Amino acid sequence: MSAHLAGFPLMGGQVGEFVVIEGEEHAVLGRIFEVRLPERDRLSVEFEAESHQAPHPIGVVQLLTAVDLQTGRSSKGIPISPRVSQYVYSAHPLLLKQAIEASALANAKKVQLAVFPHAQNTSIAVDPAQLFGRHCAVLGATGGGKSWTTAHLVEEISRLGGKAILFDATGEYANQAAGVTHVFLGGSRTGALDSRRFVGFPYTELTDTDLFVLFRPSPGVQAPKFREAVRSLKVAHLHPELANGGLIRKQGRPRAPFEDAVIASANALSAQGARFDIRLLSSQINEECVYPAGFNANVNCWGGPTPNEVSACVTLMSRIESDLASPSLACLFDTEDLEPLPTVLERFLENPGQRILRVSLEFLSFEHNARELVANAVGRYLLNLARCGRFQQLPLVVLLDEAHQFLDKSLGDEFSRTELEAFGLIAKEGRKYGLTCVLATQRPRDIPEDVLSQMGMFIVHRLINERDRAVVERACGNLDAGAAAFLPTLGQGEAIIVGVDSPMPLPVQILPPRVAPKSHGANYADHWQPGDVPQP
């Protein structure tokens, strides 16, 4: 029977309750996950039973961790299993709190994360190094509280004076205010009173493979001509004396000056961020459609135009012109009036007063996989900064909402394929550089298992899909089938915390954020009004 002791509730043998089993040197903590009656006692609880015998229910306890009775520290695993006849007690919430909060860090410097669902006057605070130091995954089905948890983590990072970049895929976190700088990648102002800060991501920060995926040149003629045109435009930027109107004219021109420039500038041409004028790309492709050499005296010059190659590249040139003029891709190709996102990132990192940078991707089109490519390119840019040691003194946390959109994807075809692996690489190697990530998703099965296995902390909300639960079980070393059985029944905001530094899976109620994200759907009751059905 449930009761209260000094203001703290004791559940009295209910399923889900934590219990402590006495021992000589250790006290073993466990959780009741099944209560049943033996067959011989079933009639004793029937209403029609004539006798009122006391039933003897059996509780099945999952052993989780052990607490040293001298030091009070919890250990992973059970050093000595309980023996028959040892007493079992309801675990006091403060004992659970002590077992989880093993860090000696002052409470004011911890992340105020959650409370116990059955004892909401007992809070749980976590060392930031435990939560973010080895990456974190926030998982949960729609309506489970995943977005609220992400918003709360953002607020706690800001409160503790940390630095974080939030990639907001849907615009849910637009209302976050305390210490948050908002920028929008994609879209445009709706009028003079629109104060939103729109930024661009210059196409020069994309790799040649990224451009291949965007413009989709077909194998055969288009692909090599596309590569040659990009190289020629880069040479034209580095050696303007070889260019005519910004183009490298090839028909009947000597090859030697161009080839010498390519050799002399080999490193600059292959460097990330090499500049060129993409507005001339289709015209330069047309210039590439020439014979490699002329005849007789013109053998050291390019030849005349090749009609077959020009014909084969017409569709590519028209597609390039169309994409360059697309409003949805203006943040890539028409950035003259937009603040470059790399510049914004640099200023954010250098400004100690800015805590959180929210990069909204809600207006960035899915057209031609632009959203995935740009997010991957930004992640690659941050990883390059980390490898240069930018985050050693002030660690940076990257929060990626709707992470399944940006991980475990391969874009392009067999001739020009690019892997969206930037955030996966951050999860695998970013920790040693001071760059860690928080991946939030409602589809854990779409996250590569080698990425999930790098997560040191899991905050798992309600998961109903069996495949999702199986993936999480395999990725979490401490989350076994007994603890995973509670996942489908978790309420809104409830979660199970399990991590490398956590001695046991712990069910909690995540503290709500001060500013709630805009994650609710349409209110059908308000917008749908009953009325007479019109007759045909």
pLDDT higher at 369 or 437: 437
Which of 409 and 372 is assigned the larger pLDDT?
Answer: 372
Looking at 2-6, 146-150, 254-258, 350-354, which range is the least confident one?
A: 2-6
37 three-state secondary structure: coil
Report yes or no: 21 and 27 within 8 Å, Cβ to Cβ. Answer: yes
pLDDT at residue 236 in the model? 94
As a whole number of angstroms, the distance between CA 56 and CA 534 comes to 64
Inform me whether the pLDDT recorded for 306 exceeds 70. Answer: yes
H-type alpha helices, 172-325:
208-215, 222-238, 256-264, 266-270, 281-288, 307-324
Question: Both tokens of residue 217?
Answer: 């040149």
Segment among 57-66, 122-131, 357-366, 519-528 with least mean pLDDT: 519-528
Q: pLDDT tens-digit profile of 495-507?
A: 988 887 777 788 8
Average pLDDT over residues 118-126: 82
Q: Would you say residue 87 has pLDDT above 90?
A: no
Return the pLDDT at 98. 77
- Cα 8 to Cα 81, 120, 490, distances in angstroms: 28, 9, 22
pLDDT computed for residue 283 by the predictor:
94
- What pLDDT does residue 41 have? 61
Q: With bands split at pLDDT 50, 70 and 90, how would you rate the model's confidence at 352?
A: confident
Q: Find the mean pLDDT for residues 230-244.
A: 93
Which of 8-17, 60-69, 94-103, 201-210 shows the highest mean pLDDT? 201-210
- pLDDT, average across residues 406-428: 76
The share of the chain scoring above pLDDT 70, in percent, equals 89
Q: In whole numbers, what is the pLDDT of the chain averaged over residues?
A: 84
- What's the pLDDT score for residue 490? 84
Would you say residue 83 has pLDDT above 90?
no
Asked if residue 228 has pLDDT above 90, the reply is yes
Find tokens 């520290």 and name the residue.
73
Residue 46 above 60 pLDDT?
no
With 60 as the cut, is the pLDDT of residue 421 above it? yes
pLDDT of residue 361 exceeding 70, the answer is yes
> What's the pLDDT score for residue 91?
81
pLDDT tens column, 6-18: 556 666 677 778 8
The string of pLDDT tens digits covering residues 143-185 is: 888 999 999 999 999 999 999 999 998 888 988 877 789 999 8
Is the pLDDT reported for residue 48 higher than 60? Answer: no
Cβ neighbors of 265 (< 8 A, separation 6 or more) are: 234, 235, 238, 239
283 φ/ψ angles, rounded to the nearest 5 degrees: -65, -35
pTM for this structure? 0.83
Lowest mean pLDDT, pick from 83-87, 213-217, 239-243, 461-465: 83-87
Which residue matches tokens 């004793």?
44
Rounded mean pLDDT of 339-360?
90
Determine what percent of the chain is predicted with pLDDT higher than 90. 27
Q: What is the mean pLDDT of residues 25-48?
A: 71
pLDDT tier, 45 (very low <50, low <70, confident <90, very high otherwise): low
Q: State residue 153's pLDDT score.
A: 94
**Phi, psi at residue 349, to the nearest 5°?**
-70, -30
Q: How confident is the model over 229-238, as a mean pLDDT?
A: 94
